[in-house]
Amino acid sequence: MGRTPCCERKGLKKGPWGPEEDEILINYINKHGHGSWRSLPKLAGLRRCGKSCRLRWTNYLRPDIKRGPFTLDEEKLVIQLHAILGNRWAAIASQLPGRTDNEIKNLWNTHLKKRLLCMGVDPLTHEPVTSGGPTTRPRSSPATRHMAQWESARLEAEARLSKGSLFFNSPPTSVKPDPDFFLRLWNSEVGESFRKLNGEAKTDCRSPISQASSSTKCGSVSGVTVDVGPIAAGSSTPKSSRTEDPIMFDASFSSCSNESEDSSDTALQLLLDFPINNDMSFLEDVDTYATPLQC
């Protein structure tokens, strides 16, 4: 089907935004809200396409944007979330108040990816690089090993979810895992405890859920109400309704087959236990890993 372009190409300005354009856009949105992005440029008197306006607003002009370098905690969070969510930058960004998907994507591509490579971890798979990789640390360093365990847990959980989706009365064609599953998990009580990298969590890394469910199998998250409402105050952009409804894992989640229980239970255990002692000290070792040249 012939897809109409998002805007007429003729006469529309491209490239970097000027301060006066920014001002026009800010003033207009402050007065009227963005409404329809497509009609906004015309109404505001900008020679830009709506898409460009939306991008400029969401990535740069929004008042709740946090500018400046990422903190260590933010970087840790990005890495952990990336291990869970992969390149789903918008989902990752929704967990970091004031940060945009674009910003996080850039951070990953320019800093974190290289840093992981330097420590011998494949940034795509979060597994240790086995051969030929630029490794300066022993590959068996705790951080590396844990990364691998973590990724292993992720893959196992994903596989289980694929199986599990068959039990969700899904049509046979939609065996694809719910893409927001891990985000929901992250936003759940499980994720909450998981996020507590510092403070009291250090005394006992295992989450309350983990402790409470240590004797349960596979369905340890059954009945956990997962509130996936935006945690980040800064995520002003309304996400699609897919992630806004509270999810209750019903019993069907725990109805996976017995043979998958062992591995998936291990996976879940790893999920709940990572990161033991918050072992991402490599991030703090800025002097050692700041630049690829030092690998």
Partner DNA sequence: AAGATGCACAACCGCATTGTG
Partner DNA sequence: ACACAATGCGGTTGTGCATCT
Rounded to an integer, what distance in angstroms lies between the CA atom of residue 62 and that of residue 135? Answer: 40
Shortest Å distance, C-beta 14 to DNA = 4
Q: What is the token pair recorded at 64?
A: 């709740």
**Cβ nearer to DNA, comparing 198 with 240:** 240
**Cβ nearer to DNA, comparing 18 with 208:** 18
Q: What are phi and psi of 132, to 5 degrees?
A: 75, -10
Rounded to an integer, what distance in angstroms lies between the CA atom of residue 160 and that of residue 153? Answer: 10
Shortest Å distance, C-beta 89 to DNA = 4
Nearest Cα residue to 70 out of 96, 94, 36:
96
DSSP class of residue 176?
S
**Cβ nearer to DNA, comparing 109 with 277:** 109
**Cβ nearer to DNA, comparing 229 with 292:** 292
Shortest Å distance, C-beta 187 to DNA = 14
Shortest Å distance, C-beta 110 to DNA = 4
Shortest Å distance, C-beta 212 to DNA = 32
What is the residue whose two structure tokens read 């002009």? 61
Nearest Cα residue to 243 out of 99, 85, 25, 11:
85
Shortest Å distance, C-beta 67 to DNA = 7
CB proximity list for 279: less than 8 A, separation 6 or greater:
142, 143, 146
Nearest Cα residue to 98 out of 59, 56, 51, 54:
59
Shortest Å distance, C-beta 152 to DNA = 21
The secondary element (H helix, E strand) that includes residue 80 is helix 72-85
Distances in Å between the Cα of 34 and the Cα atoms of 19, 129, 232 are 18, 46, 21
**Cβ nearer to DNA, comparing 39 with 140:** 39
How large is the angle between the packed helices 258-273 and 142-165, nearest 10 degrees? 140
Rounded to an integer, what distance in angstroms lies between the CA atom of residue 255 and that of residue 167? Answer: 8
**Cβ nearer to DNA, comparing 6 with 251:** 6
Task: Count each helix (H run) and each strand (E run) in the chain, helices first.
Answer: 14, 2
Contacting positions for DNA (CB under 7 A): 1-4, 6, 13-17, 35-39, 48, 50-52, 54-56, 59-60, 69, 87-91, 101-103, 105-107, 109-111, 237-242, 291-293
Shortest Å distance, C-beta 181 to DNA = 14
**Cβ nearer to DNA, comparing 69 with 199:** 69
**Cβ nearer to DNA, comparing 245 with 262:** 245
